Structure 1
């Protein structure tokens, strides 16, 4: 080995050692904390605020206030708290070995040690747990006078316990089966004993709507049931239902008090080839996702419904429902659809069109509600009483009466056409009693009265572009097994707590709507409203306000008066320096867009600073987020680190038009930078950087292939080649890649065969030879969203064209980096990259860049 070679190896080792020694300590990290509006008691008398220290959890604390804003207690703790109906606080140690019961009236507390499997039944002031010291199960009630033990039985006497999903019942099976199975009503502790259950229970499935629990001899999530026991705990009806243990089943669902349905997945025939040696894909396959995900399954499978009716003593196995998904509606009918009916794979699973029908079990008859319903997750709603089905087609909202099997009403819906990404969820909710339906149309907040069949404007938005949220809702509906037909419900529609967002002014309000009376809790604040909590009577409401230069501050509204509860104790010098500017601009088609320009720390208008532009889609909603510095970020980009190092950071909106996503992004970014350079002269126009991940990674790849505006760029997990990505299989979405182009985020509107030129024009790979901007790309080798093959393809193009290019591929990582050591590594490398090219940093931290992007002169021969 030559001296030159040894010197080269030694230098390279030094580069690696220098990089690993890079410090990641954040200045003043011990002070960074986050206030969180944790709890408000149902009476509204007490609220708790958690203060979590981002870099030292041992300093975490809790603050307890009354509804007049008086601080009652401050306590350093890591406990997770819950609040009981009687206002007592229950603190659970993170290790779940200790329970703290705290009375905020007196600040007195009692601790119970040696516990695990803790369940807090908030509405009934009850706690269920296992005592590891006495090895017994205990049920206690928390009273103002003390703790009352309701039930205490040694573990040796108990085979199984489970609390219902609604936390109203406790099921107990004794080891001695002759003692029966008990069901305890947790409100009044009334016991119901059933001695006809003679098999040991290993897991249970509580029905989501009806007083039915299915008892299983299997461990949880094992779906090869030899039998299931149907137990109606209202009527004490018990039926043991034999099943085929060689067949896999879905979870059962009760149809009514005496019947249930289950879907079985059974084998038709053995595949005519050796699945250990061969995968057979066919374009006929309507279950391609299953074929690809489980290639070694030896049999061709199908599914079918079985319906057990114990009142009529009948079993129904309707072949007509094979492959269908069903939702029980009432005694004899199901809402059904075939998810693979229109299987052209140009939509994601949930967005596929489908015929939605009512199926009558006894008559074996379908009644069509809507044909080829597009994107049902966003365009349908099932009422809380399952008697109405709402669907939207071509701007019309249809109200279908399920009981009468007839269309009852329509409404000309004016949906949101703005580009705001603030409220992307659809406002479609039912009252708990099913009498009213709430929705937004144009700028108005609307109500439909099922009884009178009339529409009413509850809030008239006029000419102002408003978006609405109902805050007192069941946010995570668990009404039916399928998430593809929403069934969202308001907890109490006598009073509606509504958040209203003004799109143009970027202001938010919270108002309480009671009949025709409207009370503003917050009116047109420029801050972001978060973590709203409310008492049962809405007389007490707590919330936090934050902005980009103001950490979360907590407030209480009580009986018409608002008071400050708590401000963050972080030293103000950590954030009061933060400054931003909203930059308005237009794209080629005159669409109104915004960009957020964040200013560097210690900004001096007489100096020049580099600017890093972050590209994605609509980003202006980020303007009010308070952010913290950290080196542990899943895409390696933390804005705070760049601001503290003397960078401007810019977030422009990107809106995709008929030009395609790449050309649209190029136009939006160029126009936004043109405008921001006009409005802020301290930006060094010769020191501009570009960064994006995922969709932003793709737009970064494309933009640098079209312009030399930027002096350095970073793309993460981005598409490089439209054609190969279009004709690839997406393992994350379990669908061919072309759905992302035709109906998804890439928004090409047309298939490749109809406008090949448009696809070529928006594909970065076809312009890779034009990339002169130093480019660093990163991806996870196991990325299932955007295959790492895309980055490999870009690398090979850059290699062929002799372009400086660094590709980082992290082993055992996906679309986002999850391992802290990889997050740290990527964050440091990105900082190095931009420091090297935008700040001319030539030091030990950037030596790896200089080494990997400098070509030997002899390599640059033309060929």
Structure 2
């Protein structure tokens, strides 16, 4: 049915010119003081004209103030009262969001605005400058926006609409009316027509890759809709009963793959009162003791061109992955090689030919699913080993492979990536960037770093994607990437198949401060941040290959300009080069002695050593706050550690001892008799291990560590990971390299709890009672082991905390950070008039604490 175009009315719309708004105060007491703040990029407009920046007092998780900044003129507008705009920041300065319950439209370039009242839901299309919304009368209105707001026009009104479904690119919309009719709206002609009437609620809805069709489940039917032809095909699911774990995904040619499982009527006896774990089981999941049934596993291919449904052979240990390439799936057995030695088991993937219904080629045995189709769908790019250092390109038509090596990627580092023409891949190798052309079979070295440069390819900034399947770079526009070299970070541009440097800094450079868009659609404008221990976050922009400052912090420079850091290298007994970062106390006097706190984790330091730290308790990271400690007359040493063949605890002692000795050598003002140690998670384990295996530290703080290394870690079942935790001890961060039976003495030597009786260090322990990552019982057991030997110990158990404590838990974070400072003040600064510590450590008296 065609709609009649209704005349656009301004009855519910009033124009409102809004000048610079005043910031609303945050009701949370922890985040009211504006003395210290953090600037955070929130989003960039699609055309790169406007950047949105949040100002967060005391590192508030939510911005206290919101500024819209013109990237060319750097002029800013304070729109703190404005919200819910992240998906509706459009081109030409148009932005739509909420002011309280009302819908607000701002034309930033024209300095104009309008308000629409009584709105239940809204969305926008940046490509067509359209606003979609449902009002309180259940009317769907589609409005054509204009930078000159008085020219904004209502293009379509449809009554009786319950909801709508918007495609991911926001350019296609399907509406559901009160008659349960699905309507397809033509956004070029602003008309609509009925697709079909449904008998039940829509339980699942998914768009195809090209967003010109969709699939949904209603009752016991799957409906596939082709919007190019307006054809609807309905498939009755050939099973009765409740469907579980329904998965639907499209191929690049709009064929559909779907799978599900269903309970039979056959009850598994005794499942309601006993849970049986078998020694040869490949699946260890604890029971909820509800009645269980035998399951049937089904999967199908719906071929769009001939409307044919093909059923595949599927069971619990034979499954498939759709990677988008028509005619093919990946088949695998999840359980075949599951030995619980890694979090993700090694899985052997094979290329499955749908027409032949058989595997035609074995691809790789890897522990995750890094299979990336080319944009053309003619090739697959994938890793072939555990650490993703070996890759292959498979030609689907010939089944020929090209194999190549890459640098082992760091977390967030660069993986091989397709170009938009499907002819080239970009990848890192031996500290340089290379391109490989599939057609010419030629490899080109794009950068010229030497081995001594120690270059590490970071990440590509502006990638595009085939939804759900693969990322690629558009070679028709400039591409930016980061490269780490020694202590500097470089920004390079890849353009016209050449790589050139455009920016470098010794500060902490990041494109990760926003989870929203940070690059314009055409790839010419980007926003990023730099900061350092003595430089608050500064937001910079790239426009037309030129870099400029967008906004700087307004924190009083006198508050942090005194900060000093000394960087040095040190060597463990195996002569491995490690880094230490020594932060100086605020009122440093070289003639005085100061206590020092050492913070440890691993080779990577949490948080980065060159991140700007705010000296307020609520901004701490699980109790650690370097600037809060230096403001209170402590040296702070952040030192790298790593795991050797001796084990994580013993090697931590060696690394920390070397780091402390080197710091005493380079800075005589450190008081070697008043040293403290702090760590969380893996760092918490190490802090406890060093505390019991050496007498270097007078006081330590250890959080959420695996102190019961054998019983509470090696032989623990993890409800968090739903598997035994022995891989965490043998192969993960702790990297013992052997199981317990092969070298029990090594486990004994590295167990904090089994060596607790040796300690001379006063230990403050903390954990969250919701922590199943490193189970909180580790902390209680460590406390009991220390208490049994009447060692100085206090343990903190936070009710609602999971594994770490940050600014999103302000009450707990503030409390923990104050107690950490108290702990070190008491033991290292001689400030012994702290009641909660004083009353809890003297074994010659006793306490009966209500807490």
User: Is 2:564 aligned against 1:579?
Assistant: yes
- 1:390-427 deviation line (CA, Å, top 9, x unaligned): 323499734342423523322244546xxxx6x55342
User: Is 2:684 aligned against 1:686?
Assistant: no
Q: Is the 8 A contact 2:329 2:352 kept in 1?
A: yes
**Secondary structure of 1:460 counterpart:** coil
How far is 1:114 from its partner? 3.4
Question: For residue 597 of structure 1, what is the aligned residue in structure 2?
Answer: 582
**Secondary structure of 1:796 counterpart:** helix
Write out aligned runs for 1:804-843 (5 A).
804-817=792-805, 819-843=809-833
Question: For residue 168 of structure 2, what is the aligned residue in structure 1?
Answer: 165
Pick the aligned partner of 1:762 from 738, 750, 753: 750
Question: For residue 9 of structure 2, what is the aligned residue in structure 1?
Answer: none
Pick the aligned partner of 2:110 from 106, 109, 116: 106
Question: For residue 468 of structure 1, what is the aligned residue in structure 2?
Answer: 457
How far is 1:634 from its partner? 6.0
- 1:457-512 deviation line (CA, Å, top 9, x unaligned): 122222222222443444887424xxxxxx3322556422111211x2x1112222
- 1:734-763 deviation line (CA, Å, top 9, x unaligned): 221111122211111222222222222211
User: Is 2:540 aligned against 1:528?
Assistant: no
Pick the aligned partner of 1:174 from 161, 173, 177: 177
How far is 1:330 from its partner? 3.0
User: Is 2:709 aligned against 1:709?
Assistant: no
- 1:122-154 deviation line (CA, Å, top 9, x unaligned): 23222222334x553322221133322222234
**Secondary structure of 1:795 counterpart:** helix
Distance across 2 between alignment mates of 1:858 and 1:53: 42
Q: Is the 8 A contact 1:499 1:509 kept in 2?
A: yes
How far is 1:732 from its partner? 1.5
The 3 A distance-change label for structure 1 pair 282 and 475 is farther
Write out aligned runs for 1:16-35 (5 A).
29-35=33-39
How far is 1:316 from its partner? 1.1
Question: For residue 18 of structure 1, what is the aligned residue in structure 2?
Answer: none
**Secondary structure of 1:459 counterpart:** coil
Question: For residue 216 of structure 2, what is the aligned residue in structure 1?
Answer: 215
Pick the aligned partner of 2:230 from 214, 230, 236: 236
Question: For residue 615 of structure 2, what is the aligned residue in structure 1?
Answer: 629
The 3 A distance-change label for structure 1 pair 26 and 170 is closer
Q: Is the 8 A contact 2:57 2:64 kept in 1?
A: yes
Q: Is the 8 A contact 1:58 1:78 kept in 2?
A: no
Question: For residue 14 of structure 1, what is the aligned residue in structure 2?
Answer: none
Question: For residue 183 of structure 1, what is the aligned residue in structure 2?
Answer: 184
Distance across 2 between alignment mates of 1:431 and 1:46: 28
How far is 1:777 from its partner? 0.9
How far is 1:703 from its partner? 0.7
The 3 A distance-change label for structure 1 pair 649 and 302 is farther
User: Is 2:341 aligned against 1:346?
Assistant: yes
The 3 A distance-change label for structure 1 pair 28 and 254 is closer
Provide the aligned C-alpha RMSD in A. Answer: 3.1
Write out aligned runs for 1:662-673 (5 A).
662-673=649-660
User: Is 2:140 aligned against 1:140?
Assistant: no
Distance across 2 between alignment mates of 1:123 and 1:175: 29
Q: Is the 8 A contact 1:467 1:500 kept in 2?
A: yes
Give the TM-score normalised by the residue count of structure 2. Answer: 0.87
Question: For residue 281 of structure 1, what is the aligned residue in structure 2?
Answer: 277
Pick the aligned partner of 1:741 from 715, 729, 734: 729
The 3 A distance-change label for structure 1 pair 64 and 666 is same
Distance across 1 between alignment mates of 2:543 and 2:646: 53
Question: For residue 368 of structure 2, what is the aligned residue in structure 1?
Answer: 376
Write out aligned runs for 1:438-449 (5 A).
438-449=426-437
Question: For residue 205 of structure 1, what is the aligned residue in structure 2?
Answer: 205
Distance across 1 between alignment mates of 2:71 and 2:29: 39
Distance across 1 between alignment mates of 2:293 and 2:666: 66
Q: Is the 8 A contact 1:308 1:315 kept in 2?
A: yes
Aligned length: 800
Distance across 2 between alignment mates of 1:317 and 1:58: 51
Distance across 2 between alignment mates of 1:226 and 1:602: 72
**Secondary structure of 1:479 counterpart:** coil
- 1:243-273 deviation line (CA, Å, top 9, x unaligned): 2342313221124656422222233675654
Pick the aligned partner of 1:789 from 774, 777, 788: 777
User: Is 2:397 aligned against 1:409?
Assistant: no
Q: Is the 8 A contact 2:538 2:553 kept in 1?
A: yes
Question: For residue 616 of structure 1, what is the aligned residue in structure 2?
Answer: 601
The 3 A distance-change label for structure 1 pair 322 and 342 is closer
The 3 A distance-change label for structure 1 pair 764 and 682 is same
Pick the aligned partner of 2:328 from 325, 333, 340: 333
How far is 1:73 from its partner? 4.0
Distance across 2 between alignment mates of 1:731 and 1:827: 29
Q: Is the 8 A contact 1:182 1:191 kept in 2?
A: no
Q: Which runs of 5+ in 2 are unaligned?
A: 1-27
Distance across 1 between alignment mates of 2:176 and 2:29: 54
Give the TM-score normalised by the residue count of structure 1. Answer: 0.86
How far is 1:294 from its partner? 4.0
Write out aligned runs for 1:64-103 (5 A).
64-67=69-72, 69-71=73-75, 73-82=77-86, 84-93=89-98, 95=100, 97-103=101-107
Distance across 2 between alignment mates of 1:341 and 1:192: 52
Distance across 2 between alignment mates of 1:28 and 1:77: 16
How far is 1:685 from its partner? 1.1
Distance across 2 between alignment mates of 1:604 and 1:37: 38
Write out aligned runs for 1:632-647 (5 A).
632=618, 633=620, 635-647=622-634
Q: Is the 8 A contact 2:580 2:639 kept in 1?
A: yes
**Secondary structure of 1:411 counterpart:** strand
The 3 A distance-change label for structure 1 pair 73 and 714 is closer
